[in-house]
Structure 1
Amino acid sequence: MSHSPTVPRTDGFHLPVFPRSLPVVYHPHAAQTEFRSNAWVRRYLESCCTSQTQLMRLLRQRVGLYGPLVAPLTDRDRVLALADFYHFVGLIDDLAADHTGGLGASPGGARAAFDRITAEFGDPGSATTPFGLAAADLWQRMSPDLSSRQQHRFHQSLAAFLDGIAAELPYQLTGTVPDYPAYIDIRLASFGCDFICLLNEYAAAVDVSDLSRSPELRAVHDHAMRQMILVNDVLSLRKEHGDPMNAVRVLEHHDRLPLQQAVDEVAARAAAHEHRYLQARDAARRQLAHRPDVDAYLRAMDHLLAGAQEFEYLTPRYLGDGAVWDGSTTGWVSPVPADPAAANGLPS
């Protein structure tokens, strides 16, 4: 990997350094959680995969570490439920990205499938499909720790996530690139921002439903979720370059920026949102100092942002199947590795 190329290159991009101003913490039971979540995938999601190849690729993505990274202070049962849930939505996202058949073949077919998933999550007794049975297991384990308001928000947020994925499909199937405001609006749904914030409450064992739309927490959420989306857009670019639903592609198309300038601009916007998140977080902590639950929620939000970024560096989901992260957070990223199975760290 070349950290400072001496001549301009056009066969990839140089990954900029992100601020990383928030603490990265691994759950003390991270390894056990990943192992147990992989077993849950084999039990509940194997039949949702189109092949054994897809199943093994999903397991190699190490999604079982996402929960331990974004919720390092929660208890063992909750961190496992989070790991399993993010496996659940991650597979849905993978299936929707395959436009040759199944969920990703047409917006109508995706919406019909998503309606079934939403209904079965809301009524586990009706579950008959593989995704429905997985949803029923998740709901049985998670719902006792959610208030009635949080349960209602959970159903709404899952529906919004699935609607967002369906809303992306027309752009992806036609190659149409939305402008930046339209892109952000869709991604706030398809990225799962509503359930990400709700599950942050679940991880912190608090209920701030009464403040979820307050000016104080709205500012926190606005900048936190945009930071997560834009960091993901850069770190997943190797997998997604050419996908119209990526901020780098949006700026390339609408602002006519070369690839490297578009990457740098998206990274700069992510850094700006991280800075504004910190300001909004501190302001909310001052203004809501009488609410210890808010303080716990904000501490968990710090871990969420830091953990999500750490996961995106280490997962082969974005660097290429078989890649092993060597700890590098900058370097030259080529579009396609010569030998994906032998890739180590950031591909060069």
Structure 2
Amino acid sequence: MTIPQPLFFTLPQLTERLPAPRTHPQAEQGERRSVAWCREHLPSLLGNEASVEAFLAKKCELIATHVYPDVATDRLDLIHDWMTYFAAVDDLLDDVRPADRTTASMPAILDPLLSALHSGVQPDDSPAYIHEMLDLIARLDKDLTREQKQRLVAAVEEYANGCADEDQLRVAGAITDFDTYMAAHVAVSHGSVVVLLLEYGLNIDVSAHLADPTELREAKDAAIRHVLLVNDLFSYRKEHFTGEVSDNAITLFTKHYGLDFQEAVQHLCDLILQTEREFYAFHDQVRATPTGHDPVVRTFLHGLEMLCSGYVRYSYVTPRYNGVDHNWNGVTSGTVTLLPDPTVYTAADSNDHPPRTR
């Protein structure tokens, strides 16, 4: 299939019931401090200062203040550090072609991290990413309950193993259906860490409620899936223009389901709305039970709502997905034109559309 250049598609409204997004009251201060932290801690991970500045041009620091608008101010900084660190790691993985990330090389990268994670001991010659990861864990650990600490170790291990497993599937060309794709996508999403950071920021612990299959756990899982599907929609532009779109639902739908580009986008948008409805079905079931009257559970459910709502808004505004020169105009539906830099959002009733041919 030949996709026209520049790419354009019709975008419907992406939300139905999610609350209006908000940014954290200390957003400006938190984002400024996050930039300083990145300049200090990421050169060893990204390679040099120039790479850090290129990373900062994407304004990844915006994500924490959009998806965690209600967290305690004194806990926002650490959440920033976790979120920007994972964004930097994602960029590193995106820069390596699947064929170059062999099943032999991935354990060499990930096994030292898992060994240090379980032993608590890191050799002096450990790679920088291990030092930074263990430092982030230690800073978070001191404010977590015993159950949350166990979940954190399991979440980091899930992420590391998920990266290796996904690479084997990608190199083998085995991701050809949506269920396989989503299972691999969830495993490498660090979604469990994102949820723990939400609990940390709100100073709550729902470990006991998530221990067994319950409607609350289903609501949490639906929220993670919602974020991942929204990510696929908005990150497609970045992946398309860098030549790496093998990890995107839109590509899966065009390559293996016979949909054209607009049909694939629409199907993904339908799935986003369907997943929001699934979230609220479980949300409402929880609130109708005695468990749902627990203030901690209600706080958690609202945090998940704001997480989903905030991620949609973050995706509209961030240069990470829309190009470093992007300045969002507030349009949430209409025509989206994907250019190398930036994305253009045009309202349905506007005649001011960008050119659709080169």
Question: Above 0.5 in TM-score?
Answer: yes
1:289 to 288, 292, 298: 292
1:108 and 2:111 aligned: no
CA contact (8 A) 2:338 2:344 kept: no
CA contact (8 A) 1:124 1:133 kept: no
- With normalisation by structure 1, the TM-score equals 0.88
Higher mean C-alpha deviation, range 14-23 or range 179-188: 14-23
Secondary structure of the corresponding residue to residue 208 of structure 2: helix
- Code of the residue aligned with 1:336 in structure 2: it is L
Distance in structure 1 (CA, Å) of the matches to 2:275 and 2:171: 30
What is the match of residue 222 of structure 2?
Answer: 223
1:154 and 2:152 aligned: yes
Deviations 1:274-297 (A, max 9, x none): 022112112112211342211111
Describe the shift of the 1:121–1:59 C-alpha distance in structure 2 as closer, same or farther (beyond 3 A).
farther
CA contact (8 A) 1:63 1:315 kept: yes
What is the match of residue 181 of structure 2?
Answer: 183
What is the match of residue 27 of structure 2?
Answer: 30
1:49 to 30, 46, 51: 46
Gaps of 5+ in 2: 347-353
Moved segments of 4+, more than 6 Å = none
CA contact (8 A) 1:285 1:295 kept: yes
- With normalisation by structure 2, the TM-score equals 0.85
Higher mean C-alpha deviation, range 112-121 or range 36-45: 112-121
Q: Which has the higher helix share?
A: 1
Distance in structure 1 (CA, Å) of the matches to 2:36 and 2:97: 28
Aligned length: 336
1:317 and 2:320 aligned: yes
Gaps of 5+ in 1: 1-7
Describe the shift of the 1:67–1:122 C-alpha distance in structure 2 as closer, same or farther (beyond 3 A).
farther
Deviations 1:214-234 (A, max 9, x none): 322122023212211111111
Query: Which protein, 1 or 2, shows the higher relative CO under an 8 Å CA cutoff with sep ≥ 6?
Result: 2
CA contact (8 A) 1:331 1:346 kept: yes
Distance in structure 2 (CA, Å) of the matches to 1:331 and 1:166: 38
Deviations 1:195-227 (A, max 9, x none): 222222212211111111332212202321221
Secondary structure of the corresponding residue to residue 14 of structure 1: strand
- Code of the residue aligned with 2:257 in structure 1: it is D
Deviations 1:301-327 (A, max 9, x none): 111111112111111111123322222
What is the match of residue 260 of structure 1?
Answer: 262
Q: In the TM superposition, what are the counterparts of 1:1-348 in structure 2 within 5 Å?
A: 11-12=6-7, 13-19=9-15, 21-99=18-96, 105-121=101-117, 125-126=121-122, 128-173=126-171, 177-212=175-210, 213-241=212-240, 243-287=245-289, 288-337=291-340, 340=341, 343=342, 345-346=344-345, 348=354
Identity percentage over the alignment? 27
- Code of the residue aligned with 1:131 in structure 2: it is Y
